[in-house]
């Protein structure tokens, strides 16, 4: 920056095809400010920077552009329903960090959260459970309180529009053919004989979809509805953790299912987005893979020629505990500190679209709890996906307190750098921390099929 201050009042903002997509150039001079953006998103980010430079801003030039096109967060609104105002606030907070994808996990064994025309019981039955497990499965505790909720089509359109105004793409996911117990509770004919309620405990239900022509048509109708509501090119079908206990055939049935869903989406001009289990047996051409089972599946997806969003659990699952402090709320998973998130680097490949953090909400019963788990680790993610590969944690840590003042002004319930406050603990919902070495061994075993495919 040169000495002197720029006249902040006059901003001449324009699009400039020579500026990278989503990038911007700010020229700050005593006569005024010129902002050039590679796109409307670039102008949006340029205005954010200008606001952070203070008033009046110092003179000089700022040239800036993101490293990755996919700067994402997944929010699980199935395990705990988040009302629309909470989703809108979350969108504000992620846009404030220049993240541009909100992957919404809309359905799971424990709740179905969207209206689908012609299938009213998905919401009248599937959106509600009678009780919720408290803490890790190993403790077997429940709260005996009904929980639920769902988004109307108007709600979803509002979320999509609000996100677009902030240059965030909402990528919807309906998890299939596993993680479907809520839908099967609503319509037992979709299942394999199960006639029970929406699941109240955590973990993976063995009650999965049958793969009859009628059930595949149901899945196509659900995907049609997603295509009608969400303009995203990518439409999520989940595909993770599908037990095959109820199927006469084996895993290859799932690959066939995924291929049919991809074909249907292609007919609507969209592409399939799925968790890395869709690599088993060969993912459909053009499918984008969310690589989550540790760091190996991203490499497997790249070897198979798929574009990939990297979200390895041991690096980027924000439900995992932030410290070993006994006051952390429901400590689960492996230790994942702010520094760990900041240090994450995806594989260096043009097939890497970007990176996302995943927020599974089994142990987050409110947006306030989501904020505690998300921040400041999402601030670190924002640096991973926007800035260059070589990052310096000390530099980030020196800038962070100033940024936390902004989050204070926004009333964000971030985790204090000094550790949890006494009120953050959730002794009624006890956790089950894991050791990294144990989890890595488990992941290596879980992904053996991917290595076999490549052999
Ligand atoms: C996942 O964590 N089951 C994608």
**CATH number, domain with residue 342:** 3.20.20.80
Catalytic residue among 22, 64, 108, 173, which? Answer: 108
pLDDT at 223 over 70: yes
What pLDDT, on the 0 to 100 scale, is given for residue 233?
Answer: 98
Please tell me whether residues 437 and 410 are part of one structural domain: yes
Which residue among 23, 39, 64 closes a domain?
64
pLDDT band at 453 (very low <50, low <70, confident <90, very high): very low
Separation of alpha carbons 336 and 320, rounded Å? 6
* Any atom of ligand 1 within 6 Å of the Cβ of 241: yes
Please tell me whether residues 37 and 74 are part of one structural domain: no
Q: Are 45 and 360 in contact (CB under 8 A)?
A: no
* Any atom of ligand 1 within 6 Å of the Cβ of 204: no
Q: Which atom of ligand 1 is nearest to the CA of 358?
A: 2
Instruction: Kindly state whether residue 20 falls inside one of the protein's structural domains.
Output: yes
* Any atom of ligand 1 within 6 Å of the Cβ of 340: no
SS3 35: strand
Question: 429 C-alpha vs ligand 1 centroid, how far in Å?
Answer: 21
Give the model confidence (pLDDT) of 408-418 as tens digits. Answer: 999 999 999 99
Check residue 256 and give left, alpha or beta (phi > 0: left; psi -120 to 50: alpha): alpha
**CATH number, domain with residue 15:** 3.30.379.10
Locate the DSSP E strands across 157-260.
Answer: 169-173, 234-238
Please tell me whether residues 426 and 290 are part of one structural domain: yes
Please tell me whether residues 85 and 216 are part of one structural domain: yes
Question: 115 C-alpha vs ligand 1 centroid, how far in Å?
Answer: 23
Does residue 179 carry a catalytic annotation? Answer: yes
Does residue 245 carry a catalytic annotation? Answer: no
Please tell me whether residues 373 and 439 are part of one structural domain: yes
Separation of alpha carbons 232 and 211, rounded Å? 26
Q: Are 46 and 15 in contact (CB under 8 A)?
A: no
Please tell me whether residues 86 and 116 are part of one structural domain: yes
Instruction: Kindly state whether residue 230 falls inside one of the protein's structural domains.
Output: no
Q: Is the dihedral of CA 319, 325, 330, 333 positive or negative?
A: positive
- Mean pLDDT, the chain, integer: 96
Q: Which domain holds residue 27?
A: 11-64
Cα distance from N-terminal residue to C-terminal residue, the chain:
54
Please tell me whether residues 81 and 98 are part of one structural domain: yes
Please tell me whether residues 50 and 196 are part of one structural domain: no
* Any atom of ligand 1 within 6 Å of the Cβ of 275: yes
Please tell me whether residues 31 and 143 are part of one structural domain: no
Give the model confidence (pLDDT) of 160-209 as tens digits. Answer: 999 999 999 999 999 999 999 999 999 999 999 999 999 999 999 999 99
Instruction: Kindly state whether residue 391 falls inside one of the protein's structural domains.
Output: yes
SS3 content of the chain, % helix, strand, coil (to 5): 35, 20, 45
Most distant pair of Cα atoms in the chain: their distance: 75
Please tell me whether residues 52 and 143 are part of one structural domain: no
Give the model confidence (pLDDT) of 125-151 as tens digits. Answer: 999 999 999 999 999 999 999 999 999
Which tokens is 292 given? 């989550």
Please tell me whether residues 104 and 26 are part of one structural domain: no
Instruction: Kindly state whether residue 388 falls inside one of the protein's structural domains.
Output: yes
- Residue nearest ligand 1's atom 2 by CA: 292
Does residue 241 carry a catalytic annotation? Answer: yes
pLDDT band at 293 (very low <50, low <70, confident <90, very high): very high
Q: Which atom of ligand 1 is nearest to the CA of 313?
A: 2
Domain count, the chain: 2
Please tell me whether residues 245 and 379 are part of one structural domain: yes
Q: Which atom of ligand 1 is nearest to the CA of 360?
A: 2
């Amino acid at each position: 920056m040169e000495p002197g201050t720029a006249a902040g009042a006059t901003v001449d903002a324009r699009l400039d095809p020579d500026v990278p997509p989503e990038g911007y150039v700010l020229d700050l001079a005593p006569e005024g400010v010129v902002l050039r953006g590679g796109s409307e998103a670039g102008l949006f980010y340029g205005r954010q920077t200008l606001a952070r430079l203070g008033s009046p801003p110092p003179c000089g030039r700022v040239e800036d552009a993101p490293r990755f096109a996919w700067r994402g967060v997944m929010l699980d609104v199935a395990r705990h329903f988040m009302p629309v105002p909470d989703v809108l606030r979350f969108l504000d907070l992620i846009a404030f960090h220049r993240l541009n994808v909100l992957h919404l996990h809309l359905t799971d064994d424990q709740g179905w959260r969207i209206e689908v025309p012609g299938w009213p019981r998905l919401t009248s039955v599937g959106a509600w459970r009678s009780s919720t497990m408290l803490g890790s499965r190993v403790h077997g505790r429940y709260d005996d309180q009904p929980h639920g909720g769902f988004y109307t089509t108007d709600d979803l359109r509002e979320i999509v529009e609000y996100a677009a105004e902030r240059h965030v793409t909402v990528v919807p996911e309906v998890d299939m053919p596993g993680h479907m117990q809520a839908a099967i509770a609503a319509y037992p004919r979709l299942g394999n004989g199960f006639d029970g309620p929406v699941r109240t405990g955590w973990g993976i239900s063995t009650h999965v979809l049958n793969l009859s022509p009628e059930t595949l048509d149901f899945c196509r109708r659900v995907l049609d509805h997603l295509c009608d509501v969400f303009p995203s090119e990518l439409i999520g079908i989940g595909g993770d953790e599908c037990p095959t206990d109820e199927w006469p055939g084996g895993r290859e049935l799932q690959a066939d299912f995924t291929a049919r869903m991809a074909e249907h989406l292609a007919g609507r001009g969209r592409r399939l987005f799925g968790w890395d289990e869709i690599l088993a047996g060969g993912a459909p051409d053009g499918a984008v893979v969310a690589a989550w089972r540790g760091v190996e599946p991203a490499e497997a997806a790249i070897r198979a020629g798929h574009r990939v969003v990297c979200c390895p659990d041991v690096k980027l699952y924000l439900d995992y505990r932030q410290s070993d402090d006994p006051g952390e709320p429901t400590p689960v998973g492996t230790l994942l500190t702010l520094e760990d998130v900041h240090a994450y680097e995806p594989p260096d490949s043009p097939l890497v679209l970007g990176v996302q953090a995943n927020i599974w909400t089994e142990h987050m019963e409110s947006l306030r709890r989501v904020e505690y788990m998300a921040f400041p680790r999402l601030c670190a993610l924002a640096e991973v996906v926007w800035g260059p590969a070589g990052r310096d944690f000390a530099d980030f840590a020196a800038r962070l307190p100033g940024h936390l003042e902004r989050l204070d002004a926004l009333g964000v319930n971030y985790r204090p750098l000094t550790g949890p406050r006494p009120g953050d603990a959730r002794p009624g919902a006890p956790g089950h921390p894991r050791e990294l070495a144990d989890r890595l061994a488990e992941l290596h075993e879980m992904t053996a099929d991917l290595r076999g495919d490549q052999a």
